[in-house]
Amino acid sequence: MAQTAGDEGQPELKRVIGPGLLLLFVVGDIIGTGVYALTGTVAGKVGGALWLPFLLAFTVAFLTAFSYLELVGKYPKAAGAALYANRAFKIQFLTFMVAFAVMSSGITSAASAAQAFGNTYLRKLMGDSLTIPTVYIALGFILLLAAVNFRGVAESLWANVVLTFIELSGLLIIIVVGFYAITNGEGEPARLTHIDTVGQTPLIAVTSATALAFFAMVGFEDSVNMAEECRDPVRIFPRAMLLGMGIAAVIYVLVALTSSLLVPAKDLSAAKSDALLKVLEVGAPGFPLWVFALIGLLAVINSALINMLMASRLVYGMANERIIPRAFGTVHPFRRTPWVSILFTSAIAMVLVALVDINALGGTTSLLLLIVFTVVNVAVLVLRKEKVEHKHFRAPTALPLIGAIACAYLASPLSGRPAREYGIAAILLGVGVLLWGVNRLVVGKVKFDAEKLSK
């Protein structure tokens, strides 16, 4: 068996997550910053057919989710995609870079949520009385998340339960308001088929918007990294993941349809992260916007909390696999949380908050994850030759093949992705290369032992 923290005298992570908590974890992670903060940006890329990129992004996410379900069933450990790459390709450098890419995606996602918290919903809620610069608010927000994360996964996940129901209520308000307005003759159905082709082809308009919309579809990856804190993960993961993604898909598409019907794409784009507030203002002029601002505020808190949970647990898992120094796997003796990895990931998030804007953070998040998902879809096929003794979910072979091609395309320049996102990703991964070099000097070369890890 691969070593765990408990093998060297440290306590193991506490298994507190059942099927209900896992389902809410998946739903809460998907339904959050992406739809609350980036709907306007997606509309600016595709036009009135706003629903199409979200539908396509979910389709690609579902293909990859089947690969994750097979792999988490075979290897229910916290390291997720990095563990799968390690077992499939046995290249330590690739393993490290996959781990660093996934960790970076969670942190960039949390950083974008922190900016949405400080620059959109909190300012809309408090108005002119808020005079603190956004960057300081966002930095304080990250510190608060670190404190909740350190407090314990049970407390963090119960906070997720409450916040998930609140953020769901906000999106249901948008859907109900849209339904009411449309049944009263408002809205323009012709917008739903309009694709913005100014300066681009319809294909580029749709794929570039889909590549960004994918930012909102990554909750299932986060949930895999909580495997060591789940009760019976092999049994509960398939149902919780697929049901959670299905719930989120229906809600997202309905919100996108409502937004396009009530507000022209150019107005949604101009509103940027205030796009849903604009939809509510048009569909229900008398509705108190501060209520929705409060809901949006809590939604981005939930997304950020879950992403920072994932990032810290991934670092913890990789430390236990000896891909990074063992110190990162240190567990607090009383709280039983990976406190060193929490400090490390929080520090990176604070740097990103201070230096990068929200749209670039969202696009970079989707880019990093699409690269990782391409690797995972290939890994699941490579690992078919490695058998395990227990029963587990098995994905139809065609799905990982299609998923790998789709993810690789959306991550490539062919999809119309802005060059700036590649630059930010290159800098982040460059930091990973630097850390890899330091790790080799301090720890030395670690020989991969597939036989040991498979026991």
State the pLDDT confidence band at 415, using cuts at 50, 70 and 90.
very high
Q: What percent of the chain has pLDDT over 90?
A: 36
Average pLDDT over residues 376-401: 91
Residue 216 · residue 252 · CB < 8 Å: yes
Angle at 41 between CA 37 and CA 44, to 5 degrees: 150
State the pLDDT confidence band at 7, using cuts at 50, 70 and 90.
very low
CA within 13 Å, CB half, 313: 30
Residue 349 · residue 114 · CB < 8 Å: yes
**Model pLDDT, residue 78:** 55
Least confident segment among 109-113, 188-192, 323-327, 393-397: 323-327
47-94 pLDDT tens trace: 999 999 999 999 999 999 999 889 888 887 755 787 788 889 988 889
Question: What gap in Å lies between CA 309 and CA 303, rounded to an integer?
Answer: 10
Higher pLDDT, 311 or 372: 372
**Model pLDDT, residue 449:** 41
Average pLDDT over residues 214-234: 71
311-332 pLDDT tens trace: 888 788 777 767 677 788 888 7
Q: Give this prediction's pTM.
A: 0.82
244-279 pLDDT tens trace: 899 999 999 999 999 999 999 999 999 888 899 999
Question: What gap in Å lies between CA 72 and CA 229, rounded to an integer?
Answer: 13
**Model pLDDT, residue 3:** 39
How deeply is 161 buried, as exposed, middle or buried, from its count of CB atoms within 10 A (0-12, 13-18, 19+)? middle
95-135 pLDDT tens trace: 888 888 988 888 888 898 888 888 888 888 887 677 888 88
State the pLDDT confidence band at 283, using cuts at 50, 70 and 90.
very high
**Model pLDDT, residue 225:** 62
Q: What percent of the chain has pLDDT over 70?
A: 88
State the pLDDT confidence band at 153, using cuts at 50, 70 and 90.
low
Higher pLDDT, 191 or 222: 191
Q: What is the CA radius of gyration of the chain?
A: 21
CA within 13 Å, CB half, 377: 25
Closest listed residue to residue 354, CA positions, set 140, 146, 124: 140
Residue 153 · residue 13 · CB < 8 Å: yes
State the pLDDT confidence band at 199, using cuts at 50, 70 and 90.
confident
Residue 16 · residue 228 · CB < 8 Å: no
Q: 312: Cβ–Cβ under 8 A, 6 or more apart, which residues?
A: 149, 338, 341, 342, 344, 345
**Domains in the chain with CATH codes:** 5-453 (1.20.1740.10)
Give the CA diameter of the chain.
69
Q: Which two tokens stand for residue 178?
A: 């849209």
| Interhelix angle 202-213/398-411, nearest 10 degrees | 100
Question: What gap in Å lies between CA 101 and CA 367, rounded to an integer?
Answer: 10
Closest listed residue to residue 1, CA positions, set 54, 76, 72: 76
What phi and psi values does residue 230 have, to the nearest 5 degrees? Answer: -100, 150
Residue ranges in 383-418 assigned as alpha helix (H)? 398-411
Question: What gap in Å lies between CA 227 and CA 96, rounded to an integer?
Answer: 19
State the pLDDT confidence band at 6, using cuts at 50, 70 and 90.
very low
- The SS3 call for residue 128 is helix
Sign (positive or negative) of CA dihedral 446, 448, 451, 454: positive
Least confident segment among 256-270, 331-345, 361-375, 413-427: 331-345
Query: At 347, which amino acid appears?
Result: A
Residue 409 · residue 203 · CB < 8 Å: no
Average pLDDT over residues 291-297: 90
Question: What gap in Å lies between CA 336 and CA 12, rounded to an integer?
Answer: 8
pLDDT at 360 over 90: no
Higher pLDDT, 28 or 277: 277
- The SS3 call for residue 287 is coil
Query: At 335, which amino acid appears?
Result: R
The helix, strand and coil proportions of the chain, stated in percent and rounded to the nearest 5, come to 80, 0, 20
